Amino acid sequence: MADLEKTLYDLCLPLVDDASTLSVKQMASADDNEILLYVYAASEDVARLIGRKGLMASSLRQMMSIAARDTRKHVSVKFEAY
């Protein structure tokens, strides 16, 4: 099984200015069939990760969905700025 936190981190890393501001955490979910991943970054980097009209965020979510296929669970990716 793929380490989904590391996969998402590796996908986001080239998109941020400062790698030390990027963090990806897996959170507990009320639904056993769901994996919640949160991306924490500086506000300008989060804007870049979401992209215009959410295009980058949508692409990241699609790639994480593919990465999680062998887990047979739904992956939710949320973006948080600090």
The count of domains in the chain is 1
**Structural domain containing residue 34:** 4-81
The whole-number pLDDT of residue 32 equals 87
Per-residue pLDDT of the chain (82 residues; tens, 9 = 90+): 469 999 999 999 999 999 999 999 999 888 888 999 999 999 999 999 999 999 999 999 999 999 999 988 899 999 999 8
Strand order in the sheet with 23-27: 23-27, 34-41, 74-81
Give the pTM.
Answer: 0.90
CATH of the domain at 16: 3.30.300.20
